[in-house]
Chain A
Amino acid sequence: MKKIISISLSLALIVVSVSSCENELPTHFDFNSYNFSDLDVDGGSWQPILLSSATDIELAAPAEVNSAEYQAELSALKSATQNLTGNQAEAVQYWTNNPIIRWNEIALELATKYNLIPPPNPDGSYTLPTAANPEGPPPFPFAHPPYTSRMLAYLSVAQFDGLITAWHYKYEYNRPAPYVTDTDIQYAYKKNTLPSYPSDGAVIAIVSRDILKAMFPLEHAYLDARAEEHLNSLIWSGSNTASDIEAGTTIGTAVKTVALARASTDKMSAAQTPRALSDQIKQEAFDRFGWAWDNMEVPVRPVGLTPRFGEVTMWSVPNVEDVRVPVPPAPGSPAFETDAKELNSYAKNISEGQRKIANWWSDGLGTYTPPGHWNRRTKEYIVKYEMNPLRAARTFAYLNMAIMDAGVACWDSKYYYHYPRPIQTIKGFKTILGTPNFPSYPSGHSTFSGAAAEVLSYIFPAEANGVRSWAREAAESRIYGGIHYRFDSDNGLEQGKQVAAYTITRAQNDGADD
């Protein structure tokens, strides 16, 4: 009996000691408030994306700092910043002085949550998600890569335009930060000379909440709660008084209205076509080239993913056909056989390194998608280079406009060429990644990544080599995974670069580089 006790005790000890070796798993990017490398004092004069200029939105002058009204706000702020509860202090720490980062993470998390493909019904049919009945089943949206690229583009563009407007009025009215006027107010973040009216944080909270509510209609309560905590954190951190926040809310509301108006007319609602139109698109491709892609699932999905996403309004490319990829090698041709042979060799014998690359970039169903992957890396650079929220929003805006344009261009080519996947053309072919429900050529991962890497190379020139090699790796990963031919990846990468050139030209002329 003694022995049993001692064995049990030592077992318990081992369990405890082994458990303590486990890593704490991060659920968000861990960083603290930081000094901005530049305040971009002239940011209010930059060219917005949706507005014609920052002055499209009017904002009244704030009360004078020595007015009774403002002094009352300051004293309310002072008492609110004293004796924070644990949860309040945690919220201040979490949101930081660049909350663009947090809203981007929230967007990625929702994309991940909703990136689930509709299952078959018992009779073998499929029901598609619809905004008219978001509860479903299946729930709306299916946050696939085109959907997510568009969601991120509207989020980032609205944040950017909102902050350009905020910057304009900050430097027009020059209301000092609360802790400058009242030195008794504790400010939780790194101090700088950025004027506090209107609150940039409130602009971000409102546009982000409202764009994401439009994109994820089942998440209103969640998004309201996140925005409320964010807005409260502006008080708890001593960043802004009530009128700063109210002014930020005014701007945020005006900008989101403009952004959602564009979204309602960008033809996304027609991207998922009915069966008849899908069949017609396929027949046209077959007549043109003599091949057509088939969905290989059981039961067969009658319509591929968003056949007309290629017709959605682009941000920077005037005509999608200008960036259409060249005609691919016909199935069975020598050039095709070379690439098919390569696929067979990986299927037969893949190295651990290649397998890891395939999985690292897989970003398939149930994940934040390739656009999300690139947003995550961009976030890390934004903090590394200590960008202020306006610069951060600009970075995400051009990144995500380029990524969405890349998606539109890629989808145009995908359904124009309607090229079959390797599991369709190579008999008995098996893969280590799931084959997506849309044509093969060109590779979406490659196009998204090619565009993202070029925009990041423009914004972070010191990182150009790194991000371009990542894009190349992302493109290769689809070959290792068995779901794309090399010509899909090479041409996709090139198409992404071409799309990004339009985006970068636009960025170079927005005034931020001056």
Chain B
Amino acid sequence: MKKALLLQVFCIGMVTTVVGQTYTDATMMKKNEICIAMMYEQGTWDQYWEGTNLITNENIGTFTRSTYMPMIAYGITDKLNVLLSTPYVSTKSDGGQLAGVKGFQDVNVALKYEAIKKDFGKHRVSALAAVQFGTPMTNYLSDYMPYSLGLGTQELTGRVVGQYEFNKMIFVRATAAYVWRGQTEVERPFYYNNGSYYTTYMDVPSAINYQAVVGGWALKHNLRLEASYTTLNCLDGDDIRRWNMPQPTNKMEVTQAGFSAQYFFKSIEPLKGLSLMASFNQVLDGRNMGKATAIGGGIAYQFTF
């Protein structure tokens, strides 16, 4: 459900996966099924990469980004789902005097299509394609990093997902995505990006995102556990200059490992359709972004319309 979200949040220093997962996983809603979810994630860091150099800045101290993400998904058909999410973000730091911000970030809508689903005995192969569009919901200022709510640009993501499930118990999944990003309008008429720019527009670099997941089912198929390894690399952009503020033109890169769990109350009749989610993610390596540790949780309810 939340790939685009995931990416944006990524790039400004934290990672969302609890929610982001729906955009990248191989799970499909059946026709007329609806899933509503509310997710929360909090990412913190006290070190960031200035270019590729990991530094601390006591005038930022510990930086915290909190994301609340309501989401809804709907099965148009068994093979085509639509997803919609609108994160609300707040940022703050405990060092220095710069004010944090809060507000709605971007609205994201995605179509997810299951192209292949083949069973070989107890094994299953599936392949999906998704396209996702995100655009700022409010006139937030992208050029206030790391505090800004998001990158303030339109974003179009094309994604492919492939999954192999053994015995309906263990699965491996790989995804690849191209994230096209446009320009963001900022509030200053001049900036430096390895040279002068006389404009209020900044090019926000597009990115490539890969993810590998190993997962399995436990507790009589009520608990899904996943371990993930994710990279997101901007294709161009400049580095944060020495002891300077970051800006949306920066070439952001991140490698992170994560773990997530989702418990489905399938077997408890009054709670049928309900599930709880939890996640943990750690940025391992990066460029022009914070070395964030994120924890998240969420609740989802799925029913037929």
Instruction: Report chain B residues within 8 Å CB of A22.
Output: 182-183, 203
Is there a chain A Cβ closer than 8 Å to B156's Cβ? yes
Tell me, in angstroms, the Cα distance from A8 to B203 when the chains sit together. 24
Q: Are A359 and B154 closer than 8 Å at their CB atoms?
A: no
Partner-binding segment picked from B8-16, B81-89, B186-194, B226-234 = B186-194
Partner-binding segment picked from A174-182, A283-291, A295-303, A486-494 = A295-303
From residue A477, how far is it (CB to closest CB) to chain B in Å? 11
Instruction: Report chain B residues within 8 Å CB of A362.
Output: 188
Tell me, in angstroms, the Cα distance from A461 to B154 when the chains sit together. 43
Partner-binding segment picked from A88-96, A109-117, A211-219, A248-256 = A109-117
Is there a chain A Cβ closer than 8 Å to B98's Cβ? yes
Q: Are A430 and B143 closer than 8 Å at their CB atoms?
A: no
Instruction: Report chain A residues within 8 Å CB of B196.
Output: 27-28, 105, 108-109, 112, 368
Known: A15-B156, A25-B197. A298 touches B97 (CB 8 A): no
Q: Are B245 and A366 closer than 8 Å at their CB atoms?
A: yes
Q: Mark B154-194, 1 if CB is under 8 A from A, else 0.
A: 10101000000000000000000000101100111111100
Instruction: Report chain A residues within 8 Å CB of B202.
Output: 25
Q: Are B243 and A117 closer than 8 Å at their CB atoms?
A: yes
Tell me, in angstroms, the Cα distance from A482 to B139 when the chains sit together. 21
Q: Are A376 and B59 closer than 8 Å at their CB atoms?
A: no
Q: Mark B94-137, 1 if CB is under 8 A from A, else 0.
A: 01111110000000000001011000000000010101000000
Q: Are A118 and B198 closer than 8 Å at their CB atoms?
A: no
Q: Are A359 and B244 closer than 8 Å at their CB atoms?
A: no
Q: Are A431 and B98 closer than 8 Å at their CB atoms?
A: yes
Is there a chain B Cβ closer than 8 Å to A355's Cβ? yes
Instruction: Report chain A residues within 8 Å CB of B139.
Output: 352
Tell me, in angstroms, the Cα distance from A258 to B191 when the chains sit together. 34
- List which A351-375 residues lie within 8 A (CB) of chain B: 352, 355-356, 358-360, 362-363, 365-368, 372-373
Tell me, in angstroms, the Cα distance from A297 to B58 when the chains sit together. 8
Tell me, in angstroms, the Cα distance from A374 to B98 when the chains sit together. 27
Known: A27-B197, A28-B196, A367-B190. A116 touches B154 (CB 8 A): no
Is there a chain B Cβ closer than 8 Å to A261's Cβ? no
- List which B210-229 residues lie within 8 A (CB) of chain A: none
Q: Are B180 and A15 closer than 8 Å at their CB atoms?
A: yes
Tell me, in angstroms, the Cα distance from A358 to B188 when the chains sit together. 9
Known: A27-B198, A430-B99. A4 touches B129 (CB 8 A): yes
A-B complex: 4 closest residue pairs judged by Cβ atoms: A359-B187, A430-B99, A119-B243, A298-B58
In addition to A347-B99, A373-B190, 9 A-B residue pairs with Cβ atoms within 8 Å of each other are A3-B113, A11-B131, A22-B182, A23-B183, A25-B201, A28-B198, A29-B198, A118-B243, A372-B190
